Amino acid sequence: MTIRLCVFDAYGTLFDVDGAARSAASGPDGQLLAQVWPQLSASWRRKQLEYTWLRAAAGHHADFAQVTENALDWALEEAGLDDAGLRARLLELYQELPVFAEVPDSLRGLAARGMALAILSNGTPAMLASAVRACGLQDMFQAVLSVEDVGVFKPAGAVYDMVGARFGVAPQEVLFISSNGWDICAGAAYGFRTLWVNRAGAPVDRLFGRPDAVARDLRGVGAQLGDV
């Protein structure tokens, strides 16, 4: 079945989640972060994801903005950093995360081929709108879908249902692209064609689905459209 739509995860796939801590560490007041920002950023991201999974499993939803704040507070305490100004700066920077270097050209290349593009993300509508606007990509996507419309985080099936509901396509007509191994496995099990952007060179997750294709960055998307 022909692929009619490319659907992208946002955080870690399009947007560099290390960008906030890296930027804060390189700023004029970044001395506190200079040595610890990589670990802080890794802990922040890990707890952010863990909290989405636990909230989904327990049925205690809070939006991604709240989850992101809670995860940052945990990571700051782990790093021994108690600085309200730093916390506020990191959360501000998270609203305008940079995209990975290849993202703009990759998206433009897909659009030039006539491919419809969308985002499917845990992020809130406000967070996603801010991030997309900050990198100048607001005209690239036919839809930016947030889990807030269904009130549960990925990998719940209700999230992936949003794609068909919005675009009227079968799962097999969708190429789902994510850098999160667990997300791509869930998308594959749902029935999407899948491309895992494995930026870290990690092993495939042992879950209930497997990616159809793997690439190191988004430059692999165009090449895979005829193969997956």
Predicted confidence at residue 39, as pLDDT, reads: 97
| pLDDT > 90 in the chain, percent | 92
Q: Looking at 9, 18, 183, 212, which residue is catalytic?
A: 9
Tens-digit pLDDT profile for residues 35-50: 899 999 999 999 999 9
Instruction: Report how far residue 206's alpha carbon sits from residue 213's, in angstroms, rounded to the nearest whole number.
Output: 16
Sequence length of the chain is 228
pLDDT at residue 28, rounded to an integer = 77
Domains and CATH numbers, the chain: 5-15+98-224 (3.40.50.1000), 19-94 (1.10.150.240)
Q: Is 9 a catalytic residue?
A: yes
Residues 48-59 as b or e (16 or more Cβ within 10 Å = b): bbebbeebbeee
193 DSSP β-pair partners = 175
| 60 strand-pairing partners | none
At 227, the pLDDT band (50, 70, 90 cuts) reads: low
- Per-residue pLDDT reduced to its tens digit, 181-218: 999 999 999 999 999 999 999 999 999 999 999 999 99
Considering only CA atoms, which of 226, 225, 195 is closest in space to residue 210?
Answer: 195
Distant-in-sequence, close-in-space partners of 129: CB < 8 Å, separation ≥ 6? 138, 144
How far apart CA 153 and CA 23 sit, in angstroms, is: 28
Report pLDDT digits (tens) over 18-30: 999 999 999 877 7
What is the predicted pLDDT for the residue at 67?
A: 98
Closest among 124, 119, 125 to 162, alpha carbons compared: 119
**pLDDT grade, residue 32 (50/70/90)?**
confident
